Amino acid sequence: MELLNSLSQDLTLQEALSGIFGSVSLATWIFLLVPQLILNYRTRSAEGISLAFLFVWLLGDITNLSGALWAGLVPTVIALAIYFCFADFVLIGQCLYYNRVNAQKLQSLESAEPSTPTEEDALLTRRRSSSIGLPGSHRRRSSTMSSNMDYHNDSLSKITEEDDSTTANPWLKNTLSILAVFAAGTAGWVIAWQSGVWTPTPENGHGAPKANDVAVGAEVLGYFSAVCYLGARIPQIIKNYKDKSCEGLALLFFLLSLMGNLTYGAGILFHSLEKEYLITNTPWLIGSLGTMVEDAIIFVQFRIFDVGHRRRMPSISTSAIALLPFVVSAVSAAGTLGFALGDKKPDGTCKFQADYEADFKTISSSGSKLVRVYAASDCDTAKQILPAAKSSGFQVVLGIWPDTEDSYAKDKAAVVEYAPQYSDQVYAITVGSESLYRGNFTGSELSEKIQDVKKALGGHFKVGTADSWNKYMDGTADAVIQGGADIL
């Protein structure tokens, strides 16, 4: 009751809502950014985070802050701008530091004899950069950066509303998370107001300049920052279109990004709807609310590229029916136990031949003599693992990661170079891992990649792919089956 009385005496409901929404926006972006900072610290790596994007965003944030201060915008806008600049400097500092340290470690490892690893080295782990919605600015960061996270261990459900857990409802968890963030932002505003840290800004008084009082330079800075933020999303939209995938977009990250942008704009609009005020704040409204349009485009892309593949009728295709006798026969026969190997040690450094030999020694106790790797060029995997397989009597399924042209070209080159040298050790080559399941390729596109690799190897090795069984059942993989894949 005391709070309500104070509300009516000291500030209007409209101004209170402006402060609350601004505080909620700040809480939202803090919630999104902190996990990324912690992840970088725990993994001691910033691999996959684009410094170019960070510097563009830093430039946008600096001009955003300068323009906000110059134009005398509401306190929550300035507080957010200060926070974003601080966050950028921390992220850039992490990237520069970890990139330098890891480069020095790699250089020292390459110049030294590989050390003998212990049998406790992880055998079944694999890490690869995967695109997720990275936290960040009110105008920028829902999906444009990548982090060093394991695809299968991602703790956030994808926006497809699918969850591997049968007991958890992702929508319920995400709704509770959003409500918690909103409550935290509201509580933060109440504390700031009661303590005097936050005070209402009059609409036509000191600290609220009219449009004709605002320097042209402040408006130029505001528009420049908006261009930086809006432009940063365009490469992501283009990438999604080219890859036919929005892999890594998490439902919670996506919703919080929208909420952060929406509450930021609401914080400005609830302060005042006067024409001169809106003209002054136009650059910041374009930057915050404009990115929501881009988020909507990404959302539509996700539904088209990923969900469309997963909502087909669960009918069994003709090709899958033709394949079933062979599958049943293979399952009925004595199976071959194999293990998936990562290319890095627990400390994040690359494995060498001696490391793989130690892995093989440990695996031998299971009776298996077959392993699989995902990307032949990562950490020189093919170069290091094949001689180890030869000395240990193992066979290897080499992997080619086709999701980007760069990774495809590098992995293909590594396979072409080393597979013929160790033909007895190469069991097969897989092009892609769950590429159909994730919607990165159509069956025809993946089949073309497989045929390209077979041609490059002269037909001397089995070449196929590894994917989820339901992609064979629903017809997605028909072109792969009919195209002559040797292994599925």
Q: Are residues 359 and 430 in the same domain?
A: yes
Among 290, 310, 330, give the residue marking a domain's end: 310
Confidence check: pLDDT of 432 > 50: yes
pLDDT at 388: 92
**187: amino acid identity, one letter:** A
Q: 245-259: per-residue pLDDT in tens?
A: 655 445 566 677 788
Highest-pLDDT range among 135-144, 285-294, 312-321: 285-294
Name the more confident of 457 and 468: 457
Q: Would 222 be classed as within a structural domain?
A: yes
Whole-number Å distance between alpha carbons of 238 and 329:
44
Domain assignment of residue 461, given as a range:
318-482
pLDDT classification of 132: cutoffs 50, 70, 90: very low
Give the residue from 286, 310, 334 where a domain finishes: 310
Yes or no: say if 24 and 185 are a contact pair by the CB < 8 Å rule.
yes
Res 481 pLDDT > 60:
yes
pLDDT band at 193 (very low <50, low <70, confident <90, very high): confident
Top mean pLDDT of 16-25, 63-72, 314-323 is at: 16-25
* Entry field: residues in the chain: 488
Predicted confidence (pLDDT) at residue 63 exceeds the cutoff of 70? yes
What would the two tokens of residue 427 be? 């069991």
Same domain, 361 and 344: yes
Local confidence band at 108 (pLDDT 50, 70, 90 cut-offs): low
* Residues 381/414, Cβ–Cβ less than 8 Å: yes
| Residue 155 included in any domain | no
Q: Which one-letter DSSP state was computed for residue 118?
A: P
How confident is the prediction for the chain on average, in pLDDT? Answer: 71
What pLDDT was estimated at residue 318? 47
Residue with more model confidence, 336 or 24: 24
Look at residue 429 in the predicted model and tell me its pLDDT. Answer: 92
- Does the pLDDT of residue 150 top 50, yes or no? no
- 109 falls within a domain: yes
The confidence score (pLDDT) of residue 385 equals: 92
452: pLDDT strictly greater than 80: yes
In a domain, 131, yes or no: no
Task: Name the domain boundary from 259, 285, 310.
Answer: 310
Percent of the chain whose predicted confidence (pLDDT) is above 90: 6
pLDDT at res. 169: 57
Residue 201 has pLDDT above 50, yes or no: yes
Asked whether residue 214 carries a pLDDT value surpassing 60, the answer given is no
Task: Using the predicted structure, report yes or no on whether residue 14 has a pLDDT greater than 90.
Answer: no
Q: Can you tell me the mean pLDDT for 57-70?
A: 80
More confident site: 425 or 231: 425
What pLDDT was estimated at residue 437?
A: 82
Same domain (yes/no): 262, 397: no
Distance, in Å, from the CA atom of 431 to the CA atom of 411, rounded to the nearest integer, reads 9
pLDDT score, position 47:
58
CB atoms within 10 A of CB 418: 22
Please name every residue paired with 408 in a beta bridge, in sequence order, or none if there are none. Answer: none
Residue range 340-358: mean pLDDT, rounded: 85
- Which has the higher per-residue pLDDT, 50 or 310? 50
Q: How high is the pLDDT of residue 470?
A: 73
Residue 98 in domain: yes
Specify the 3-state DSSP secondary structure of 440: coil
Predicted confidence (pLDDT) per residue in 309-337, tens digit:
444 333 444 444 454 444 444 444 445 66
Are residues 362 and 244 part of one domain?
A: no
pLDDT confidence band for 36 (50 / 70 / 90): low
In this structure, the answer to whether residues 287 and 334 fall within a common structural domain is no
User: Three-state DSSP class for 390?
Assistant: helix
Q: What confidence tier does 215 reach under pLDDT thresholds 50, 70, 90?
A: low
Q: Is the same domain home to 416 and 452?
A: yes
- For the beta carbon of residue 105, count every other beta carbon within 10 angstroms: 15
pTM of the model as a whole: 0.46
* Shared domain check, 343 and 304: no
Flag whether 488 is in a domain: no
Element spanning 465, H or E: strand 463-466
Q: Select the more confidently predicted residue: 476 or 135.
A: 476
User: Are 461 and 343 found together in one domain?
Assistant: yes
Residue 203: what pLDDT? 54
Residue 284 sits in the same domain as residue 190:
yes
| Structural domains counted in the chain | 2
Q: What is the pLDDT of residue 49?
A: 57
99 with 181, same domain?
yes
pLDDT(386) > 90: yes
Same domain, 409 and 475: yes
Q: Which of 204-213, 222-231, 435-444 is modeled with the greatest confidence?
A: 435-444
134 within domain boundaries:
no
CATH number of the domain residue 386 falls in: 3.20.20.80
Whole-number pLDDT of residue 333 = 45
- Residues 234-248 have a mean pLDDT of 68
Residues 370 and 455 grouped into a single domain: yes
Tell which phi-psi region holds residue 116, choosing left (phi > 0), alpha (psi between -120 and 50) or beta: beta
The set of residues, in sequence order, having a beta carbon less than 8 Å from that of 157 and lying 6+ positions away, is: 163, 170, 174, 250, 251, 252
Contacts of 488 (CB under 8 A, 6+ apart): 323, 464, 465, 466, 467, 472, 477, 480, 481
The pLDDT confidence band at residue 121, using thresholds 50, 70 and 90, is: very low
Q: Which of 325-329, 395-399, 404-408, 412-416 has the lowest mean pLDDT?
A: 325-329
Q: What is the pLDDT of residue 298?
A: 73
